[in-house]
């Protein structure tokens, strides 16, 4: 079955701390991988995506993620978080090729203490 697991339901950090949010997926075949962010009261925005090539992907706002195929993982990282990073973060996967549905993880709520 296709699924995405996000290990942390709620993460609380202080400003300037480093961040790593875990994501593992189960999906047959080659995949596209995504991290989306949902700020309070707003719609989902794409943080970064992996389609092919360099497994280390850089996104907006200083975020990056590394695709480790052998571990079926796509963890999100940021070296120094800011209060404005408070949001819900969703890891997601879709199959490559023609357009298709996205399978989302359950999300990780990130709270940053000022």
Partner 1 sequence: NAGVMQNPRHLVRRRGQEARLRCSPMKGHSHVYWYRQLPEEGLKFMVYLQKENIIDESGMPKERFSAEFPKEGPSILRIQQVVRGDSAAYFCASSPGGNSNQPQHFGDGTRLSIL
Look at residues 89, 65, 90, 60 and name the one whose alpha carbon lies nearest to residue 75.
65
With tokens 């990780």, the residue in question is 108
User: How many other C-beta atoms are found inside a 10 Å radius of the C-beta of residue 113?
Assistant: 11
The contact mask relative to partner 1 for 71-110 (x = CB under 8 A, - = no) is -------------------x---xxxxxxxxxxxxxx---
User: How many other C-beta atoms are found inside a 10 Å radius of the C-beta of residue 65?
Assistant: 26
12 binds partner 1 (CB under 8 A): no
* Least Å from the CB of residue 43 to partner 1: 4
Contact indicator for 90, 79 with CB cutoff of 8 Å? no
Closer to partner 1 at the Cβ: 6 or 78? 6
28 binds partner 1 (CB under 8 A): no
End-to-end CA distance of the chain: 40
Closer to partner 1 at the Cβ: 11 or 102? 102
Q: Which one of 20, 26, 39, 46 is in contact with partner 1 (CB under 8 A)?
A: 46
Residues contributing to the site for partner 1 (CB under 8 A): 4, 6, 32, 34, 36, 42-46, 49, 51, 90, 94-107
């Amino acid at each position: 079955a296709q699924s995405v697991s996000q290990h942390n339901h709620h993460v609380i950090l202080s400003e300037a701390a480093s961040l790593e949010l875990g994501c593992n997926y189960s999906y047959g075949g080659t995949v596209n991988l995504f991290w989306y962010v949902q700020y309070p009261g707003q719609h989902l925005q794409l943080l970064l995506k992996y389609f092919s090539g360099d497994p280390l992907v850089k996104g907006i706002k200083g975020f990056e993620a590394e695709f480790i195929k052998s571990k079926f993982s796509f963890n999100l990282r940021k070296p120094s978080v800011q209060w404005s990073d408070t949001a819900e973060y969703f890891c997601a996967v879709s199959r490559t090729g023609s357009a298709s549905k996205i399978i989302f993880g359950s999300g990780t709520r990130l709270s940053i203490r000022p």
